[in-house]
Each structure stands twice: as C-alpha cells, then as structure tokens.
Amino acid sequence: MDGKGWLGKSFFRVLQALLPTFCRLCGGPVLETPVPWICGACWGKVRWLTGPVCPRCGFAFPSPEALTHSPGHLCGNCRDKEPPFALARAAGAHEGALREAIHLLKYGRKHSLGKKLGRFLLPSAGALPTPEVVVPVPLHPSRLRHRGFNQSLLLADAVCRRLDVPLDHGALQRVRPTRPQVELTPEERKANIRGAFAVLRPERIEDKRVLLVDDVFTTGATVSECARVLRKAGAQEVVVATLSRSG
C-alpha cells in the first residue's frame, strides 16, 4: 500500500472514532451501549424471555396463570406433537432492538456482533442441561459463500468459550439448498427443510448430549429437523438454544 492509501485509511478510521454512531432504531447517538449500532435506551427495551414458558419448547406464556391452567403445563404445539428435541430456550423476543441486531449481523455483515450477541445467549444456554458438544445450525455451502459467514457458528463459538464445551461445526451439514423460511407458512417451512440436513460424521455426536445453536426460533421447523437428524445419527439428547424467538 502506498503512503497516500495508508494515510487515507488512517484518516477514515480516526474520523469514524470521532463522529458519533446513530441508533438504527431511534436515530439517537450511540454512546455507551452493550451492542454497537443500537443505543442503550433501545437495547434496554429488549423483552428477555424470563417469565413463564413452556417447559419443553420455551414458548412464552402471557401469564403464570396461563401456564398453570395449560394441560400438562405445555403449549399447544408440544401437546399436539412431541418435538424431537428434549428442551429449547430462547434469550429474548424477536422484536425491536434484538431483531434489528440479528438483522445487522446476518444481512449488514456486522461480524463483530456475533461475539457480543452470543453473550446474551448464555443465560438461556446455561439453563439447559450441560452439553458434551455444541453444534451450530449449518448454512448450505452456496449461502455460506454468498454471506461469507454462518451467524449461528459465531453465536455457538461465544457460548462454547464461556461454557468450556467443544464446538463441532462439521458433523451436521446442510446438504440441500432451501428457500428462505421467512416467507413460508408453518407447513411450507416443514416441507422446505425436510431432508436438508445430514450428519456426515456420526461418531462425533454419537451417545453425546448435543446443544444445537441457532439465531431465531420461529415455528421450530429448522431446529426440529436438525434435532431429528442428530438423534437418528445417534445423539443421546438434543437441546436447543436460540438468541430470539418469534413464535
């Protein structure tokens, strides 16, 4: 790099440090905040899912009374059909600042958010049985090339470092490209994701308690298919931790 190029980049970095960053939600200045690009006031409004939830899938009940009066204390989906995972928990509701942070991570290419957001995943992951291995939900190679990184892997790596548990991002693979789930109905999501995953190295998860990590739990179709495939390959148990939940 010539002298002019180096000076130009240095000047740009100094300018970035001096000029305030503005919140992606309210437009106010971002000063001291746990998450870059989102101000502390907006981040303080995140609805963390610490209240009454379905003991199986983590669905947030509107009140303790609703949980108490629900047959078996389960949500309707878990009563209708037992999920393939043993437990699932999400850190917060997929709305507002948390949704924007995940969007910035996935589509704004803000890689550094992965480590920071992974820390907020720890309380929900820590509430689950201690795993023997952590597995992120994989992207198909074509989407990975397009995006440049797997957001679930970034989150899982942060969890592994805190829990001191091995990370395995090669045992479970996405072997078939799928349509984006966001625009599909619940039934279309199940059909879209069916057969999309495979365990290529079953010896790495066989007879082990697996913690499956993803960014968002919507209908549970993706993590359910992953859990089904992992259990079929010999995993002793699969528990799920996601950063947010929209359903």
5-56 pLDDT per residue, tens: 555 555 545 544 545 589 999 999 998 888 989 999 999 999 999 889 999 9
All domains of the chain, ordered by start, with CATH?
A: 30-76+84-245 (3.40.50)
159-186 pLDDT per residue, tens: 999 899 999 999 999 999 888 777 788 8
pTM of this structure? 0.89
Q: Which two tokens stand for residue 231?
A: 């259990």
Q: Which two tokens stand for residue 176?
A: 């078939």
115-165 pLDDT per residue, tens: 899 999 988 887 888 999 999 999 999 988 988 999 999 999 999 998 999
| pLDDT (0 to 100) of residue 235 | 98
Q: Where are the alpha helices (DSSP H) in the chain?
A: 3-18, 40-43, 64-69, 76-80, 96-107, 113-126, 141-147, 151-163, 186-193, 221-232
Mean pLDDT score across all residues of the chain = 89
